[in-house]
Amino acid sequence: MTTSVLEAPGLAGGLACDKGGKYLTFKLAEEEYGVEILKVREIIGLLAITAVPCMPVCMKGVINLRGKVIPVIDLRLKFGLPEAEHTDQTCIIVVDVGKEIGIIVDTVSEVLDIAGEEIEPPPSMSADVDTSFILGMGKVGEEVKILLDIDKVLSSDDIVSVSAAAAATASRAGDASA
């Protein structure tokens, strides 16, 4: 049986302790990111994505995952990175942010257990740089992983518009099969 960081003697009450835990890490461009494993529902290979009109560029459309319509966002585009050619390593991570949403990433790396004391707050940036979606900077050996607060990465506006598009697509699919 393992002891969580929150249960470790002498560490309770610290803000960093609250952030320790297991993170699924993945790559976008040359950077490595992590998302809390409890937010991850599954990892799937790239599926055919049905484009939905009038969506922001980062919202690629929807997929049919075992009969369930899931909206998909390209995280590269959401972060302002250039779009990349999809490879056999490109995959979709289905996360739960109140609704299930797929995020396209370049490649999934591994699940890491990062202790609270190994997570630092995001660096201070100028006022015009939004870092509110960064949970912290996880130090793993000589590397730094950017730990994301996936609920904040996918803003409520994103979720509302992509959910509405998914519902409309599912409704059209249901009408077509009737």
pLDDT in tens, 101-125: 999 999 999 999 999 999 999 887 7
Question: Is 82 strand, coil or helix?
Answer: coil
User: Residue 147: beta bridge partners?
Assistant: 34, 136
Q: State the pLDDT at residue 11.
A: 36
- The structure tokens listed for 156 are 């409520």
Burial 99-138 (b: 16+ CB within 10 A, else e): ebbbbbbbebbeebebbbebbeeeeeeeeeeeeebbbbbb
Give the model confidence (pLDDT) of 5-24 as tens digits: 333 333 333 444 478 999 99
End-to-end CA distance of the chain, in Å? Answer: 52
H-helix or E-strand spanning residue 170: helix 156-177
Q: State the pLDDT at residue 1.
A: 39
- Domain ranges in the chain are 17-120+130-171
CA torsion through residues 62, 158, 99, 41, sign:
positive
- Mark the ranges of the chain whose per-residue pLDDT is less than 50: 1-17
Amino acid, res. 57? V
Long-range contacts of 46-49 (CB under 8 A, 24+ apart): 46/86, 46/90, 46/91, 46/92, 46/104, 47/92
Q: From the centroid of its chain, how far is CA 58?
A: 13
Q: State the pLDDT at residue 122.
A: 87
- Cα atoms in the Cβ-side hemisphere of radius 13 Å centred on 124: 0
Q: Does domain 17-120+130-171 have CATH number 2.40.50.180?
A: yes
